[in-house]
A and B are shown apart, each in its own frame.
Chain A
């Protein structure tokens, strides 16, 4: 679809306020030879109940329906894995459903859990996501991931998903990066930043102190993308508890967690990037048609939208999400974000899709230092820090859990519990990891509003999950 009707442009509306009251994650790692999937799911659930200072059984007593994000049945060789986890969590005979939208599975799972509460069907829902990607060798894992591309038209071409992003990287580098080495270094800087932030996260799989040159010298996977430009392949779980207002207040009475308002908006685009027709750019509230008038002149070769340089699904999720919640300028209205950095290039593309920078200027979000916890250029707090968890490159990409892990992370900032949940020695011990001597508190001071972008395929599904402190809303009737 390249034009939208009035009906399709309707701004989504929740029928009543919806809250996230707690969340939890497991350790993330490449493999868990010593654990079954239910063990990592229960690790995540137990953390969520601990954050409420509540026994798991007591929290379970409030859950009315369950939403399970688990993308790749074929990785674990278990269809209806959702039923296994639901049983092991002891939540039968409650209604439950599996959600799968590729890399966006976690975000989509939250989308369903939020709608169930908003509609009044349930007052308290569980959103739980996980992925088991260690039950096949890595090359077979790459094959299975490539099955998320079109199996007749794309997958046979190498059976490697990185390739589908690499063609985007090439086009973006030539058109918007103007083939400059400095742009390639900016891409690499994202990997350095995310691996470094992962060092302060006990749950993260890929902590590394590396340099831009390390990234640029890492093995080529699909030129121009190298191994350190890519996300991790992970095992792990994450969960969140979503409630109506009355339940949210009741369940957080003993907790440091303040109920946070939550909204999720979603977008999509063709599974095959090949099928993406040229169209006008749907504008975000902080953009005007004027600013894209001479776009082709400024960036020869970039006339086609979204072409191979933008993600319409991400743009549409932000288009709906910002209008739902009253966000007029994400750089001003948000305090922290977690973005789906499947690859360094897609992180930059997403900055533009969600309006952190205009199309063509995504690199400036990194080069200005705005994306850092502390801006290395000014020594002051970054204007809008991103991926302080380490993101998919440094923390994890256990597909079904990823979007929920991101929301756990941003919620920790809004609850002002990031330091506790990432710095307490007990979490490092639980994960059998050593807290670094230079561990740094990445809590974003006075954070009130945050967003997480969950993204699938080469942009086939994207969700934007927005959290706000209930006393810092931007729109009264949101």
Chain B
């Protein structure tokens, strides 16, 4: 029986289990207007990438625990000391010192608002979000950047106050575990798997 490819790390080496690709045969491409003349061939490919989160792993792990962690430059010699970054960054782009992990969950709950948004009716292949997808870009007090994410309840508006929700049940450990709802949304209105 086949099994999705799984990976774990032991002695700082990847260890692989299961099936990482399915073999599918090449199929000729023929010209229907010219008696089936050979034009080319399909090259099917089904691959699983093994991706390291490195120093950002704490961000993705924290989402499943209902926490939004940012990073803050605490280097006293940095011209921009105190800058808080969300998206999380490992290093300060100004001084290249490692930044401190900063739990901004409460800050997000109190100050997050929509900077801009869009409603996506189409998607590329491998999209797993339900359409239409409501992209929102979120600004926070005291944060130098603007986070891109998605709204799961209600209709977006510029300036709208929103609060974070987290996929704590069956998390994907991707950015999709973080979403947003309008301030005042009740727990019972949240999609399955998500909570405040």
Binding site for B on A (CB under 8 A): 1, 33-34, 77, 137, 139-146, 150-154, 156-160, 162-164, 166-171, 174, 219-225, 272-278, 301, 307-308
Pair A157/B148 contact, Cβ less than 8 Å: yes
Write out the residue numbers on chain B whose beta carbons fall within 8 Å of the beta carbon of A272: 87, 148
In the complex, B76 has a CB within 8 A of chain A: no
Pair B87/A275 contact, Cβ less than 8 Å: yes
Write out the residue numbers on chain B whose beta carbons fall within 8 Å of the beta carbon of A158: 120, 123-124, 127, 129, 133, 135
In the complex, B196 has a CB within 8 A of chain A: no
Known contacts A33-B29, A156-B175, A221-B122; is-contact A171 B39 (Cβ 8 Å): no
Closest to A278 in B: B144
Whole-angstrom distance between the Cβ of B129 and the nearest chain A Cβ: 6
- Lowest 5 CB-CB distances: which A-B pairs, in order? A159-B124, A166-B118, A142-B124, A143-B124, A171-B116
Pair B121/A219 contact, Cβ less than 8 Å: yes
In the complex, B125 has a CB within 8 A of chain A: yes
Write out the residue numbers on chain B whose beta carbons fall within 8 Å of the beta carbon of A220: 119, 121-122
Fill in one digit per residue for B61-103: 1 if any A CB lies within 8 Å of its CB, else 0.
Answer: 0000000000000000000000101010100011000000000
In the complex, B174 has a CB within 8 A of chain A: yes
Write out the residue numbers on chain A whose beta carbons fall within 8 Å of the beta carbon of B116: 167-168, 170-171, 174, 308
Pair A222/B127 contact, Cβ less than 8 Å: no
Interface residues of B, CB < 8 Å — how many? 46
Write out the residue numbers on chain A whose beta carbons fall within 8 Å of the beta carbon of B119: 220, 222-223
CA gap between A195 and B53 in the complex, in Å: 43
In the complex, B117 has a CB within 8 A of chain A: yes
Write out the residue numbers on chain A whose beta carbons fall within 8 Å of the beta carbon of B14: none
**Looking at B116, B117, B127, B137, which has the most chain A CB atoms within 10 Å of its CB?**
B116
CA gap between A275 and B148 in the complex, in Å: 10
Known contacts A158-B129, A159-B127, A272-B87; is-contact A170 B120 (Cβ 8 Å): no
Pair B117/A159 contact, Cβ less than 8 Å: no
Write out the residue numbers on chain A whose beta carbons fall within 8 Å of the beta carbon of B29: 33
Write out the residue numbers on chain A whose beta carbons fall within 8 Å of the beta carbon of B148: 153-154, 157, 164, 167, 272-274
CA gap between A143 and B128 in the complex, in Å: 12
Whole-angstrom distance between the Cβ of A17 and the nearest chain B Cβ: 37
Can you add 11 more A-B contacts, CB < 8 Å, to A219-B121, A275-B87, A308-B116?
A: A34-B39, A77-B45, A157-B129, A158-B120, A158-B133, A159-B125, A167-B116, A170-B117, A223-B118, A274-B87, A274-B145
Pair B40/A33 contact, Cβ less than 8 Å: yes
Pair A142/B125 contact, Cβ less than 8 Å: yes
Of the residues A77, A145, A156, A170, contact of B118 by C-beta under 8 Å: A170
CA gap between A171 and B159 in the complex, in Å: 11
Pair A159/B144 contact, Cβ less than 8 Å: no
Of the residues A137, A152, A219, contact of B56 by C-beta under 8 Å: A152
* 27 A-B pairs (CB sep. < 8 Å): A33-B40, A34-B39, A77-B45, A143-B125, A146-B124, A152-B53, A156-B175, A158-B123, A158-B135, A159-B124, A159-B126, A159-B127, A160-B127, A162-B122, A163-B120, A163-B133, A272-B148, A273-B137, A274-B145, A274-B148, A275-B85, A275-B93, A276-B145, A277-B144, A308-B115, A308-B116, A308-B137
Whole-angstrom distance between the Cβ of A154 and the nearest chain B Cβ: 6
Pair B118/A167 contact, Cβ less than 8 Å: yes
Pair B145/A275 contact, Cβ less than 8 Å: yes
Pair B122/A222 contact, Cβ less than 8 Å: yes
Whole-angstrom distance between the Cβ of B22 and the nearest chain A Cβ: 16
In the complex, B147 has a CB within 8 A of chain A: yes
Write out the residue numbers on chain A whose beta carbons fall within 8 Å of the beta carbon of B85: 275
Whole-angstrom distance between the Cβ of A239 and the nearest chain B Cβ: 25
CA gap between A145 and B94 in the complex, in Å: 29
Closest to B121 in A: A220
Write out the residue numbers on chain B whose beta carbons fall within 8 Å of the beta carbon of A164: 148
Closest to A227 in B: B122
Write out the residue numbers on chain B whose beta carbons fall within 8 Å of the beta carbon of A174: 116, 158
Write out the residue numbers on chain B whose beta carbons fall within 8 Å of the beta carbon of A278: 144
Write out the residue numbers on chain A whose beta carbons fall within 8 Å of the beta carbon of B190: none
Closest to B131 in A: A158
In the complex, B149 has a CB within 8 A of chain A: yes
Pair A163/B135 contact, Cβ less than 8 Å: yes
Write out the residue numbers on chain A whose beta carbons fall within 8 Å of the beta carbon of B158: 170-171, 174, 301
CA gap between A135 and B85 in the complex, in Å: 39
Pair B125/A139 contact, Cβ less than 8 Å: yes
Pair B146/A1 contact, Cβ less than 8 Å: no
Closest to B156 in A: A170
Write out the residue numbers on chain B whose beta carbons fall within 8 Å of the beta carbon of A224: 118
In the complex, B176 has a CB within 8 A of chain A: yes
CA gap between A351 and B108 in the complex, in Å: 35
